[in-house]
Structure 1
Amino acid sequence: MTTNSCDVVVVGGGPVGLMLACELRLGGASVVVLERLTEIDTTIKAGAVNTPSAEAFYRRGLLPALAAEQERALRKVTEFVRQRAAESGAPPGPVKMAPRFSGHFAGIPLSADLLDAADPDFDGRGPADHVGLVPQATVEEVLAAHAEALGVDVRRGTAVTGFDQGPDQGPDQGFEHGFDQGADGVTVRTTAGTLRAGWLVGCDGGRSLVRKTAGFDFPGTDPEITGHQALVELANAEGLRLGWNTTATGIYAFGPMPGRILTVEFDGAPQDRDAPVTEAEMQASIRAVTGVDVTVTRVHTATRFTDNARQATTYRLGRVLLAGDAAHVHSPFGGQGLNLGLGDALNLGWKLAATVRGDAPDGLLDTYTAERHPLGAWVLEWTRAQIAVMRPDPRARALRTVVGDLMGTVTGTTYFVKKISGVRQRYDLGTSHPLVGASAPDFAFADGGRLADLLHDGRALLLDLTDDAALRGRAEGYGERLRTHTAACPDQPKLAAVLVRPDGYVAWAADAGGDAGAASDGLTAALSRWLGEPAR
């Protein structure tokens, strides 16, 4: 690789880095992804996507690939449950699958039968509401194919060794393609040469070189557990119980996929996070936690994890930004890590692309930290709370009983599922309309179309539901930054118009029958705030 240039260098080609790169390309930025691994990482990690993540894939036309993988996963789960039932001598019969993936809190399973599915927070999600059980490796495969289709330059087998920032001319001074090599920007040194970029984004994991080199503060709490998750082949495993289980020494989960096991030991952090997980190590951990003398005959894939919980105080220093685990680390309980990182990428991508194009309004890039940092802080607290409830000491076990009782109610189950699934996520955008700051409903139009069909290209969308030419006139001059669409929506008789940001979140909304002048002024203000000024 010879010295060259691009608008943005993304360090890390996992799901977060690939999602960010795709969003940047949709916004017109040139981007190079640097990934030290030569192949997609198939190590067992996250096993599910939440509702905001599924919506993001749906809005970019990628949901069918995830749905197909979920079908394959459910077939494996069904077969595993049948096999275990047969081994126990239970009569054969149909395997009942939950109507909705509900998850767990601190290893306490949530029952889908207790969920109030009529809660309005679950409304309007469309097909994305039915996709969740998708492993991280599949997410990465889908995004890698999407990146290739968009022409993203992904350079595998290339590690970053360091970088330098040039003098900064201001928070929103971006680069066009072919910018002056001597201008402000970032010089990135790699094992294959040097690149010059306008911006650098670290998506390189919890031990991020980008974060450390740039000097981001990363405060938090130290770990007290060592966890293992693996796909293994076992002998003498009859004593293992399916699902989540508490023992005198820790917590373990067996299934729902064949050979999948997770253990949690409260013995501090592992001495060596980087060493391969051996059969002997997995066997010792399973025996210590479960009390069952299993024999691990083969490890297909395995990983260690801890509850180290830290978050960067800001996600941007000059021309260097962070996303995903580079910005925040925590234990994996509740399946928040992958989804939090994908949300970072979706939020940052269009804002950084607008900055690169030079048409971003003042302060747009600063809203990335303002909007995503509170969600990251919540996830850290959510995972810390689970560790407190998982401890094997008598006080924690007493607390676990109380929490379990609350989770065993309709109100409790619905509360926890809404938190875990992400359906309550929203940004504080300073207005009182209930849709503003929330993920846009998947509006079903009278002509059979849906909102997600209009968001594949990553542009903002003004949806006019009352054929108001005057309102649409306020949106003229934005060119490729904004799509305007007029349609009837029988399910939304009270709604007049909605402005949807490129990330699928509602920036402005007006109800039918309201003050037309105020609505027009509100739209103009929202367009200026999020898209800048129209072309003269």
Structure 2
Amino acid sequence: MNESFDVVVAGAGPVGLMLACELGLAGVSVLVVERLDEIDPTIKAGGINQVAAQALYRRGLLPAMVAEQSAALSRMGVPAAAPGGAPQRPPFIGHFAGIMLGVDLVDFDHSSFADLGPAASVYLVPQQSIEAVLGRRAAELGVTVRRGVELTDFTDDGAGVTVRLGDDTVRAGWLVGCDGGRSLVRKRAGFDFPGLDPELTGHQAVVEMTGAEGLRPGWNTTDTGMYVHGPTPGRILTVQLDGPPADRTAPITAAELQAALRAVSGVPVEITAVHSATRFTDNTRQVTEYRRGRVLLAGDAAHVHSPFGGQGLNLGVGDAVNLGWKLAAVVRGDAEPELLDTYTTERHPVGAWVLDWTRAQVALMRTDRRSRELRAVMTELLATREAATLVFRKISGVLHRYDLGGGHERVGAAVPDFELSDGTRLGRYFADGAPVLFDLADSAELRAVAAPWRPRVRVVTAKAAVPGELTGMLVRPDGFVAWAADSGGRYGLESALTRWFGPAA
């Protein structure tokens, strides 16, 4: 053992790479280990919500995301921009248990969608594209990523973690498991992982087939399950509610996919080639705590659920940006390890909501008479503007907030991306991953309070382009508001600075 790092991250998926970028941005030495030699080409998440889009935007990655989205839309035969140059939106903007949400039904003038800024136009970025962008960014930040290397064991001795990588070992201050739903890190560390067992078998694949003219496009409910055909050529998804697969690890064959698609569609298709395929279930489990000693979990390692509603990737990115700045502060000595306890208290409720959200969708997918009647009621409700808007507000993440205390309505919510009088937007001030105090009323008193925390906390003095009541706002590196005021006062600011960014210098 002759190498040491501040943090070892197991897994180079989007969660592990996002976390590594957050740590690298803060000057923390990071080693990412990944058993796969290259990015997994298997069909996975195809889009992101506002939580993930805003996080990537704040780190300066929006142009790369826009380019990847344009390429994805092109593959679907959809222009990247609507007539007049406005961002293009698909006819459907999401679904609940396969009940589609029409884009024309969603009220985008709702206050929840105000001040989202340019990131609001980003939604269709495939997981592999995100991994590629984050991989390049990690390299720019000097993060060490080793592929074809598998973590096999580790020992947490209280002062650090000795990590075994095959025949080699490295020493780390902290270990973070971002190694997926079957996480070895979670199992070896002994995290409790309660939840519900699966009751369905799902397949998602990109195939070549004959007889597909009998398949209806989009989501379809039948007497034997559900299936999806499109929107990209050859893409299929099937859901059978007759129990979990006998062996989730067995190779997926054309015959298996063909049998599943025929069973739920009743169409005698013949699958002649398989380009990408995966199985999934509705197994829903979540660890009771996200940290044990010097070992932490993020993404699917901490919570597993069905892919319905497309929340998994977004949930993992949220974990990474919440944990990254806190772990970096502890590594640098700017904060005590107790700061990491807020990682669980803030992220566990969000994960629990996602699990409940996916369970509810499975209940609506069942084929018994009562479930069918309930689905009919939900279909009728989601055809209304009010219900479609509410569901999209939830799945887009704009309703998400943390319970951070404090009396102001913005505390615990994501920072709005409104424009300042100099033409800049708030989101551009987070590219270096530092916390920011926005002095929106040119208050010498506010700046004096923050002075002992500089340069750890950047102070930006600028007025809003559209004047409002907000005069000051302290924003954490993850983009969530820690303190705000509607008057020129500074009450509570010193306490918030100390709570989140350590004692004054």
Give TM-score, length-normalised by structure 1: 0.91
Q: Secondary structure at the match of 2:377?
A: helix
Q: Which residue of 2 aligns with 1:154?
A: 145
* Native 8 Å contact 1:361 1:531 kept in 2: no
Contact 1:455 1:461 survives alignment (8 Å): yes
The separation in 1 between residues aligned to 2:76 and 2:373, in whole angstroms, is 32
RMSD value, Cα: 1.5
Relative to structure 1, the CA distance from residue 294 to residue 439 in structure 2 (aligned partners, 3 Å threshold; closer, same or farther) is same
Identity %: 61
Moved segments of 4+, more than 3 Å: 96-101
The 1-side partners of 2:323 and 2:240 are apart by 36
| Alpha-carbon separation, structure 2, partners of 1:9 and 1:164 | 13
Separation in structure 2 between the aligned mates of residue 133 and residue 337 of structure 1, nearest angstrom: 15
Q: Deviations over 1:132-171 (max 9, x none)?
A: 011111111111011011010111111011011113xxxx
In structure 1, the partner of 2:84 is: none
| Pairs aligned (count) | 498
Give distance in 2, aligned partners of 1:491 and 1:347: 30
- Is the CA contact 2:423–2:465 (under 8 Å) kept in the aligned structure 1? no
Aligned pair 1:394/2:391, yes or no? no
Is 1:361–1:533's contact at 8 Å kept on the other side of the alignment?
A: no
Q: What is the aligned counterpart of 1:103 among 94, 104, 119?
A: 94
Q: Counterparts in 2 of 1:41-56, with a 5 A limit?
A: 41-56=40-55
User: Deviations for 1:14-39, whole angstroms, at most 9, x for unmatched residues?
Assistant: 00000001111112211110110110
Query: 2:56 maps to which residue?
Result: 57
Counterpart of 1:456 in structure 2 is 431
Question: For 1:420-431, what aligned pairs fall within 5 Å after superposition?
Answer: 420-431=395-406
- What secondary structure does 1:475 align onto? helix
* 1:252 equivalenced with 2:227 (yes/no): yes
Matched, 1:482 2:457: yes
Residues in 2 aligned to 1:99 and 1:500: alpha-carbon distance in whole angstroms: 33
Name which of 95, 100, 104 aligns with 1:113: 104
CA distance in 1, matches of 2:68, 2:27: 30
Contact preservation (8 Å) 1:459, 1:480: no
How does 1:81-96 map onto structure 2 within 5 Å? none
Is 1:527 paired with 2:502?
A: no
* Aligned 8 A contact 1:34 1:156 in 2: yes
Tell me the CA shift for residue 448 of structure 1.
1.3
Contact residue 250 and residue 264 of structure 1 kept, 8 A: yes
The unaligned stretches of length 5 or more in structure 2 are: 80-86
Q: Secondary structure at the match of 1:28?
A: coil
Deviation of 1:97 (Å): 6.2
- Given candidates 239, 246, 256, the residue that maps to 1:264 is 239
In the other structure, the counterpart of 1:140 is 131
Structural mapping, 1:321-470, within 5 Å: 321-361=296-336, 363-470=338-445
C-alpha offsets along residues 432-455 of structure 1, whole Å, 9 cap, x if unaligned? 312111110112111111112111
Contact 1:101 1:133 in 2 (8 A): no
Counterpart residue type for residue 98 of structure 2: G
> Which secondary structure state, in structure 2, belongs to the residue aligned with residue 67 of structure 1?
helix
* C-alpha separation in 2, matches of 1:153 and 1:252: 41
Output the CA distance in 2 between the equivalents of 1:507 and 1:229.
41
Deviates more, 1:61-70 or 1:51-60: 61-70
Aligned-partner Cα distance in 2 for 1:249–1:98: 32
Q: Partner of 1:231 in structure 2?
A: 206
Alignment-derived partner of residue 35 in structure 1: 34
Question: Aligned to 1:102, what secondary structure does the other structure show?
Answer: strand
Query: Residue 9 of structure 2 aligns with which residue?
Result: 10
Evaluate the alpha carbon distance shift between residue 209 and residue 50 of structure 1 in structure 2; reply closer, same or farther with a 3 A threshold: same
Deviations 1:474-527 (A, max 9, x none): 11122342111111212242110111100011111111xx3x4xx323111110
Q: C-alpha separation between the residues in 2 aligned to 1:407 and 1:433?
A: 33
2:83 alignment counterpart: none
Task: Check if 1:308 corresponds to 2:269.
Answer: no
Does the CA contact (< 8 Å) of 1:3 and 1:193 recur in 2?
no
Change (3 A) 1:106 1:36: same
Q: CA deviation at 1:100?
A: 7.8
For 1:150, the aligned partner's letter is L
- Return the alpha-carbon distance in structure 1 between the equivalents of residues 454 and 274 of structure 2: 54
Match of 1:222 in 2: 197
**1:128 and 2:98 are equivalent in the alignment:** no
Q: 2:166 aligns with which of 191, 213, 226?
A: 191
Question: 1:215–1:452: structure 2 CA closer, same or farther, 3 Å change rule?
Answer: same
Shift in Å, 1:207: 0.6
Partner SS for 2:323: helix
**Alpha-carbon distance in 2 for matches of 1:533, 1:99:** 49
CA shift in 2, pair 1:191/1:362, >3 Å:
closer
In structure 2, C-alpha distance between the alignment counterparts of 1:79 and 1:467, rounded to whole Å: 46
Letter in 2 for 1:5: S
Provide the C-alpha distance between the structure 2 equivalents of 1:510 and 1:271, rounded to a whole number of angstroms.
Answer: 57
Asked if 1 retains the 8 angstrom alpha-carbon contact of 2:447 and 2:459, the reply is: yes
> Post-superposition shift, 1:398?
0.7
The Cα shift of 1:75 comes to 2.4
Amino acid in structure 2 at the alignment position of 1:358? G
Inter-partner Cα distance in structure 2 for 1:97 and 1:248: 35
Asked whether the 8 Å contact 2:92–2:102 carries over to 1, the reply is: no
**Per-residue deviation at 1:269?**
1.3
Structure 1 residues 97, 28: closer, same or farther in 2, change over 3 A? closer
Letter in 2 for 1:61: G
| Aligned-partner residue type, residue 127 of structure 2 | Q
Alignment of 1:485-496 (within 5 A): 485-496=460-471
The answer on whether the counterparts of 1:204 and 1:325 sit within 8 Å (CA) in structure 2 is yes
1:100–1:9 Cα change, 3 Å: farther
**Structure 2: distance between partners of 1:186 and 1:416:** 43
